[in-house]
Amino acid sequence: MELVRSTNLSALLVLLSCFCLQFGSAIDTITAAKFINDSETIISNGGDFKLGFFSPPNSTDRYVGIWYAEISVFTVVWVANRNNPLKNSSGVLTISEDGNLVVLDGQKKILWSSNLTNSVVNLSAQLLDSGNLVLQGNTTGTFLWESFQHPSNTFIEKMKISTDVRTGKKVQLTSWTSPSDPSIGNFSAGIDARNLPELFIWNGSRPYWRSGPWNGLVFIGLQNMYSVFHDGFSLVDDKEGTIYLSFSSSNDSFPYTYVLNEQGNLLEAYSNNSGEDWEVTWSSYKTECDVYGKCGAYGSCNSHNSPICSCLRGFEPKNTEEWNRGNWTSGCVRRTPLQCERVNNGSDGGKKDGFLKLTMMKVPDLADWSSAREENCRNQCLENCSCIAYAFDAGTGCMPWTRSLIDLQKFSSGGVDLYVRVAYSELDTKEKVKVIITVSVIIVLIFTGICTYLLWRWMAKQNGRRKTKMLLYKFSGEEKLGDNVNQVKLQELLLFNLQELASATNNFHQSNKLGQGGFGPVYRGKLSNGQEIAVKRLSRDSGQGQEEFMNEVVVISKLQHRNLVRLHGCCVEGEEKMLVYEYMPNKSLDAFLFDPVKSKLLDWRRRFNIIEGICPGLLYLHRDSRLKIIPRDLKTSNILLDEELNPKISDFGLARIFGGNGDQANTTRVVGTYGYMSPEYAMKGRFSEKSDVFSFRVLLLEIVSGRRNSSFFDDEQDMSLPGFAWKMWNADNIVALTDPIICEPSFEMEILRCINVGLLCVQDFANDRPTVPIVISMLKSEIIDLPLPKQPAFTEREIAPDASSSQNNQSKCSVNNVTVTMVQGR
Ligand SMILES: *[C@@H]1O[C@H](CO)[C@@H](O)[C@H](O)[C@H]1NC(C)=O
Ligand SMILES: *[C@@H]1O[C@H](CO)[C@@H](O)[C@H](O)[C@H]1NC(C)=O
Ligand SMILES: *[C@@H]1O[C@H](CO)[C@@H](O)[C@H](O)[C@H]1NC(C)=O
Ligand SMILES: *[C@@H]1O[C@H](CO)[C@@H](O)[C@H](O)[C@H]1NC(C)=O
Ligand SMILES: *[C@@H]1O[C@H](CO)[C@@H](O)[C@H](O)[C@H]1NC(C)=O
Ligand SMILES: *[C@@H]1O[C@H](CO)[C@@H](O)[C@H](O)[C@H]1NC(C)=O
Ligand SMILES: *[C@@H]1O[C@H](CO)[C@@H](O)[C@H](O)[C@H]1NC(C)=O
Ligand SMILES: *[C@@H]1O[C@H](CO)[C@@H](O)[C@H](O)[C@H]1NC(C)=O
Ligand SMILES: *[C@@H]1O[C@H](CO)[C@@H](O)[C@H](O)[C@H]1NC(C)=O
Ligand SMILES: *[C@@H]1O[C@H](CO)[C@@H](O)[C@H](O)[C@H]1NC(C)=O
Ligand SMILES: *[C@@H]1O[C@H](CO)[C@@H](O)[C@H](O)[C@H]1NC(C)=O
Ligand SMILES: *[C@@H]1O[C@H](CO)[C@@H](O)[C@H](O)[C@H]1NC(C)=O
């Protein structure tokens, strides 16, 4: 009996395993013969996506859909029979006799079909690893139908949201009606290509939200697109009439999705598959101002104001009573007619119109596009009577408006400068300026007063806190501390204890590691009060005692400048020595500059801004701070970037802890990075502030060329970047040296100037090199005639660069023009 039962069991097991093998060995295809019923699913070849029947939460209706197979939170990305649910579990998904993919109910009634008309027989439907369900014949590779062309509410990687300009056919997202009903809701999201292409969300047929035009890198109507969106967003005109948007995430292990929810809100979310819900990292609707045309024509929305809407300067509410009631839909009208209108009415035109400049604006809808360069954009608009505003963006080009300005928003950062045409009399007169100045002076005075008071309060509080902290520490021999560091200064330094930092960085967990600096690893951390910090755990023994170390840290923490990374404090406990810095979200400059994707974010304006930011930081260290610090290890990885990509010098002063002290000193050990070091430092270990100027040139040239200095050492040509620069400078071939991304004729002079300064900074003799203040004047064009550089160091082994490489660069250079032509297409 026992025996029989066990044989039965093993027979069952064999049967089961057969069953599992058959269905478990990743069946990813459906044919007329191999259809699936309600209890079966198919899995894509790599196991990322599943297709089968499901019910949404709080619903018993059955739908055919595709969802993530590996993410524990059930997430549907596509639904077939959205508007025709199955009422029970007797449905099947199969290929019908006419070759269509169909969902049938228990009575073989077609609830949903791929609706191909001239379909061929013996088709198969395959679920690809991208999440795309494709219908193909015996010729693989050509898809007769694909689910990516018929999206639901979810936009995933490798999908394309598109618009056919000629036929107007759109591939767009459509919202669900409710979380438990996937039927087509009121909202859709797609590309609007009437003017400059941009992303729109519609409520029914009315626009509900817009992104602003694409400028080749970002949508210019979005605030902070840099920090929010991923690398690899692209809007492409395929030159055959289709414009499409796609994205690729920089890290495949975390899937990102964009979901258009039932309220018309486009959400960016990712899952780290920890069993928790998707984390929303961005949403299209943040404030009321994001609703299209909230303030009507010529009205500007600012979510920080109350009321949020105001008329542009020179305009007044069309209907004051309505406006005051908070119904802004009818917008504003012009107060004083423009010159053109006055002339048309037969009267004397009077003085020429002018432009009012509005900064940090979301570009209004319905921009036209003109090929005018930045300097002509204004004149072109002024000469055209129907032009009412213009703006210029480096990527998009000149944008004039001839229709009412609608959907304007005032940002607190980013945006474009919008120039609105007004009659001469509306322009600022001297009186107005006087009033404005008086008012602002008063405001500033009041503000300063308040700030001073708050600061005083805060400092008092902090002092109290630090004092208690200090009690935790036993200082041996405080009386021995140097003259320049007294008790008070030590108290100003925030001392952290090891436990606090360990819990802030999750016990110095590998996932919090930001990088490995020259002096030890750096971790990202979050203090219990929510403040983000970067903790440098010094690995090298500084060879200093506790007080000496603290002295140095106090000294360094006193150096405060907007272009220096702020040192918050330190921690000394046992063997451990740690420095606590402010956290810089955008990491270091090299991470941007040498990354093929991220480098596109650094247009010339930004790069110049970075160059301009490093100088004052350096100047402060060299001249304006009391101590005269020589950073010595100035390089791209030591330039950190804040949210707005402003540069901050890091790691300065560490040489004081590890090296000797004082400048113009000799050291036995060479601190610094080969290629950045000045000849006298590399050879003789002598350093001075002019050594930093030498390092600065490499930075400058790297920023301009987008190439690593070290990349040249690997080159067959075996030439340093300054050597190459020198060669190209003499050959009058600046284009070959310039990063194709920033290569644009309008910046040529500025780039040339930077290279000239860069070469001056690398002169062999320290005395030939300009000091930092002179470099600043040179860059700002205060010194017009730059001295011509002499041949720099490290250029001995020169071979003429081959012509093909420079040719290459030149052709790459036109990439920019291509982007513009794409935009021009409309
Ligand atoms: C689905 O098909 C499988 C095998 O073909 C069968 O065992 C199962 O009972 C079917 N389920 C339904 C609900 O028809
Ligand atoms: C489902 O119903 C419950 C109870 O009515 C409700 O709390 C929950 O939010 C609903 N879930 C969804 C997704 O609608
Ligand atoms: C499922 O519903 C269909 C009608 O939609 C019906 O014909 C069929 O009998 C039902 N099957 C079951 C098992 O209830
Ligand atoms: C297929 O065509 C039918 C009839 O024209 C239509 O009702 C249905 O919505 C179409 N289905 C899809 C998925 O387009
Ligand atoms: C379709 O497939 C079936 C079975 O795989 C085969 O017998 C039949 O010949 C095929 N028909 C055509 C037209 O290829
Ligand atoms: C594919 O099938 C069609 C008929 O459905 C047939 O005419 C054609 O020759 C087949 N092609 C190949 C490569 O088998
Ligand atoms: C869709 O719009 C209609 C009116 O046009 C409204 O009655 C309905 O509630 C809206 N549905 C959703 C989900 O907002
Ligand atoms: C969408 O439009 C409908 C009317 O067409 C309106 O009732 C609804 O409030 C709108 N939804 C939003 C979120 O504005
Ligand atoms: C993606 O992220 C995971 C976890 O943070 C990391 O281990 C992996 O290296 C990353 N992959 C890439 C390609 O960046
Ligand atoms: C995933 O994210 C959640 C919250 O966003 C976080 O608590 C959790 O630690 C993360 N898990 C992993 C493995 O990164
Ligand atoms: C706002 O004003 C417009 C135009 O006068 C009118 O059509 C609309 O009904 C008003 N809306 C509200 C909420 O009063
Ligand atoms: C032009 O003249 C007409 C009537 O002569 C008047 O109604 C209109 O307001 C005038 N427009 C301007 C801009 O002065």
Co-location of 170 and 134 in the same domain: no
∠ CA(11), CA(17), CA(21), 5° rounding?
A: 150
Co-location of 305 and 391 in the same domain: yes
Co-location of 243 and 203 in the same domain: yes
Measured in angstroms, how far is the CA atom of residue 112 from the centroid of ligand 4?
7
Asked whether residue 575 is assigned to any structural domain, the reply reads yes
Please identify every residue annotated as catalytic.
633
* Mean pLDDT computed over 673-696: 58
- Nearest to 824, CA basis, from 373, 402, 396: 396
Asked whether residue 345 is assigned to any structural domain, the reply reads yes
With a 6 A CB cut-off, is 93 part of the ligand 1 pocket? Answer: no
Closest atom of ligand 2 to 58 CA is: 1
Contact, 695 vs 721, CB < 8 A? no
CATH number at residue 788: 1.10.510.10
Co-location of 559 and 607 in the same domain: no
pLDDT band at residue 492 using 50, 70 and 90 as cut-offs? low
pLDDT band at residue 632 using 50, 70 and 90 as cut-offs? low
Measured in angstroms, how far is the CA atom of residue 746 from the centroid of ligand 11?
47
Q: Identify the residues whose C-beta falls under 6 Å from ligand 8.
A: 186, 203-204, 263-264
Q: Identify the residues whose C-beta falls under 6 Å from ligand 6.
A: 120-121, 137-139
Q: What is the pLDDT of residue 715?
A: 45
* Mean pLDDT computed over 317-341: 87
> Where is the domain boundary, 582, 601, 628?
582
Percent of the chain with pLDDT over 90: 17
With a 6 A CB cut-off, is 88 part of the ligand 1 pocket? Answer: no
CATH number at residue 401: 3.50.4.10
Mutate to test the pocket of ligand 9, among 248, 249, 250, 251 (most ligand atoms within 8 A of CB): 251
Co-location of 143 and 185 in the same domain: no
Q: Please give the residue that has the higher pLDDT: either 227 or 572.
A: 572
* Mean pLDDT computed over 758-777: 69
pLDDT at 175 over 90: yes
Co-location of 602 and 679 in the same domain: yes
Alpha-carbon gap, residue 509 to 380, rounded angstroms:
58
With a 6 A CB cut-off, is 824 part of the ligand 11 pocket? Answer: no
How far, CA to CA in Å, does 814 sit from each of 604, 605, 749?
15, 18, 18
Alpha-carbon gap, residue 792 to 794, rounded angstroms:
7
CATH number at residue 236: 2.90.10
Q: What is the pLDDT of residue 12?
A: 36
CB-based contacts of 5, cutoff 8 Å, min separation 6: none
Asked whether residue 821 is assigned to any structural domain, the reply reads no
Co-location of 750 and 617 in the same domain: yes
Measured in angstroms, how far is the CA atom of residue 31 from the centroid of ligand 5?
11
Contact, 624 vs 772, CB < 8 A? no
With a 6 A CB cut-off, is 113 part of the ligand 4 pocket? Answer: yes
Q: What is the pLDDT of residue 763?
A: 64
Alpha-carbon gap, residue 798 to 723, rounded angstroms:
8
Provide the domain limits for residue 462: 457-582
Asked whether residue 228 is assigned to any structural domain, the reply reads yes
SS (H, E, C) 475-534: CCCHHHCCCCCCHHHHHHCEECCHHHHHHHCCCCCHHHEEEEECCEEEEEEECCCCCEEE
Specify the residue for token string 């950062």.
413
Co-location of 762 and 667 in the same domain: yes
> Which segment of 49-53, 119-123, 449-453, 561-565 scores lowest on mean pLDDT?
119-123
Q: What is the pLDDT of residue 236?
A: 84
CB atoms within 10 A of CB 228: 13
Asked whether residue 691 is assigned to any structural domain, the reply reads yes
Helix (H, G, I), strand (E, B) or coil at 258: strand
Co-location of 338 and 404 in the same domain: yes
Co-location of 512 and 658 in the same domain: no
Half-sphere exposure of 409 (CA within 13 A, CB side): 27
Co-location of 264 and 176 in the same domain: yes
How many structural domains comprise the chain?
A: 5
The token pair that represents 2 in the structure block? 């026992």
Asked whether residue 436 is assigned to any structural domain, the reply reads no
Alpha-carbon gap, residue 568 to 582, rounded angstroms:
7
Alpha-carbon gap, residue 815 to 809, rounded angstroms:
10
Asked whether residue 10 is assigned to any structural domain, the reply reads no
Which residue's CA is the closest to the ligand 11 atom numbered 12?
Answer: 327
* Mean pLDDT computed over 598-608: 82
Global pTM? 0.59
Alpha-carbon gap, residue 378 to 140, rounded angstroms:
54
CB-based contacts of 635, cutoff 8 Å, min separation 6: 590, 673, 676, 695, 698, 699
CATH number at residue 530: 3.30.200.20
* Mean pLDDT computed over 360-385: 87
Q: What is the pLDDT of residue 638?
A: 82
Q: What is the pLDDT of residue 172?
A: 93
CB-based contacts of 357, cutoff 8 Å, min separation 6: 417, 418, 419
> Which segment of 46-60, 83-97, 199-213, 565-579 scores lowest on mean pLDDT?
565-579
Asked whether residue 1 is assigned to any structural domain, the reply reads no
Alpha-carbon gap, residue 133 to 124, rounded angstroms:
10
